[in-house]
A = this chain, B = another copy of it.
Amino acid sequence: MAARSVNLAVIPGDGIGPEVVAEGLKVLAAAAGDDLSVATTEYDLGARRYHATGEVLPDAVEAELRGHDAILLGAVGDPSVPSGVLERGLLLRLRFAFAHYANLRPVKLYPGVATPLADRTPEDIDMLVVREGTEGPYAGMGGVMRKGTPDEIATQDSVNTRMGVERVVRYAFAKAAERPRRHLTLVHKDNVLSFAGDLWQRTVREVGAEYPQVTVDYCHVDAAAMFFVNRPERFDVIVTDNLFGDIITDIGAAVTGGIGLAASGNVNPEGDFPSMFEPVHGSAPDIAGRGVADPTATVLSAALLLEHLGLSAAARRVEAAVAEDLQVRAKEGGERSTAQIGDDLAGRVAGQG
């Protein structure tokens, strides 16, 4: 059988980004096996490039990225760059330009992983957060007037369109329909953010009519944040606004063992644009270059990438390798370097091949 080939754009980025991406690629290669050839092109974007050239994301680079099948990103950011420059200029720009409206964030406690929660087991925490990725408070709308005076006013506008809400809601219903529990929770704050909340509620109700097999409920974001800690078993699939999703998925990362394990996919389900996969963690400049970063979140993001490309079996192999590795860690302890963890994971994936 002729190998399928995938053109992958790789943005290693800053800090620990390059270290974890190297391991992500190692495991991806192992998972690809003979059925898939992964051709990678590296793009130097992030703090280094910004300092060297003043550029964040040249239009020509965006156009090149657009030509790829998918993007794997490590992490961008450094304290030396003003807050927001890379986030808005690179990450959000790509999410918006490539219509990454389904920001997928599994929140799953793997066996053996230490959770800060007492008495919680993997049965209790297994959800999928589908965070809207292209609008809401992230739209960048708003402004400031009378800046620097006692009369200054700064506004920040959340923009929610029926089109934007409906496509992510529909995606979330489809995901929920595939899971054993078939339950979807809308998380919002409709008692206060009434205009946006009403649009989300109506859209969930209307799209939900097409999915009679999926049960639906609603939860205010403040209550949801609390339930992530004291009733996580309450959730299966969650669909939510861009900002609420940002916040609750970090709680999700915390309760499932920390940001070192949290994966994400910025997905354009139609495939009109390349989807982008990245660990939820940042560039962690304090530990960069020492080979101590945990590449697991990047490896799990690579599994999401494989799944997105339709290579479900390969995705399952990567996840299974991670699950095994985490259990071995729990039993044997011991410190491994970033590269050793990557080697071990790649070995396990190959072994299952």
Contacts and interface: CB of A to CB of B under 8 A. Distances in A.
A142 B162 contact: no
A191 B250 contact: no
B199 A226 contact: no
Contact of A153 (B142, B148, B159, B225): B159
A254 B227 CA distance: 8
A137 B221 CA distance: 14
Nearest to A203: B152
Nearest to A227: B254
- What copy number does this chain have within its complex? 2
A150 B167 CA distance: 11
A160 B155 contact: yes
Interface residues of A, number: 68
Interface stretch (A240-248, A298-306, A314-322): A240-248
A161 interface: yes
Interface in A190-235: 190-199, 202, 221-223, 225-230
Contact of A155 (B144, B157, B249): B157
Contacts of A83: 190-191, 197
Interface in A55-92: 83-84, 87-88, 92
**A115, A117, A141, A195: which has the most chain B beta carbons within 10 Å?**
A195
**A88, A223, A254: which has the most chain B beta carbons within 10 Å?**
A254
Contacts of A310: none
B154 A196 contact: yes
20 contacts: A84-B191, A87-B191, A88-B192, A118-B119, A137-B156, A137-B192, A142-B193, A142-B195, A151-B162, A153-B160, A155-B157, A156-B158, A156-B160, A156-B195, A156-B196, A225-B251, A226-B250, A226-B259, A228-B251, A251-B251
